Structure 1
């Protein structure tokens, strides 16, 4: 996970080819553990599930933590909680990434004031399952260091904030629970592609996993479904989930790079 690497002004900053699958406003984020000052305290903002990671943007412009980005491989021990009293929430542990602005691990808690925690959590774990087949295990023990993308950024085109209409390898995101899309003028994109693979294993918006799959895609779908059955979450007990150990390392942009628009 990286701090202050996924925002531009009041909007979210993503990589070229990365696409927002789900968007939820009014989410509260809290961290626990030995933390730097900017990670302390409760923060409220917007939560994005993309084809490559989970991103939180703080709505308080004066807070020292404006955003955090957590690739799926940096998460573990994820659980979906449904307390008798109070709002549902997602909890787990997130690991820092080289060059991400902090070190170590931290507990995290995401509370959905207007509902949707269970659906968002299950979707996040499903996307992580699909994306995991594209990860290279050679980076597990020695993740590469991060260097900011040597590219500018600008307003993102519509495909960046519209999920695939046909779904992903037979799975359709719960857009009925999350019908809202990010403001068109609040999504910005680097010219550079993500430094790690995502759900489709390619840089770009083309996705043919829903229909007309090739033999390779069909095999990929079978592998993804097998992974989903053997891990992540059990539909009969959706409050418990699992994310496999890290296999890739994201190297997010620095705070200055994320907040300075290129000319």
Structure 2
């Protein structure tokens, strides 16, 4: 447990910051609409979420959830295959819940246009080889198909799902939740950890088009690169987004 007198910076950039003091997380966000969505989504979600302690704009205080995160990009997961399957089952429970009343914010309205713009930026600035960008651009195209919206988390990174043993104890960071593509959630959850995709799908308990999941891996990695770079993160770190693009088939 973090020391009560110690303030830890969990994440901080020019859009928002999250601090930890003991077992309390303080989320500071100038855009209160994101906090509104987070609170509304946690109230509706049929899965474990953090307890809300108080809200005093621009700060939201949340209690820490028990357990261990599924893992981090570039590192072996510290939890079992059964824990990943439990995460898949929790996601299915969320996706089967009634739709929220607001639209999702995880994807832009023009996902194709955003993809084109980000690929152009990557090649124009020599961030990645043009052939690698173009190959992943073709793979990402598979994600653009008809789909039925579900109650989606919208930013279901593996660091946002906590487990104890094979039980999900909490899912955090709901500010992108809304109506969304179920396979996008599954893709974000398994990004960089393809070895656990089968576990998640087994827990999810439905037929999944794995080509679409892989397409969203490419889309997410291409479209996140500029934002990550501009906000102090490193998509070129081992096992991170650029490695995902290199391994795409």
- TM-score category of the 2 structures, normalised to the smaller one: under 0.3
TM-score, L = length of structure 2: 0.26
With normalisation by structure 1, the TM-score equals 0.25
Instruction: Determine which structure has the larger helix proportion and give its number.
Output: 2
Higher relative contact order (CA closer than 8 Å, sequence separation 6+): 1
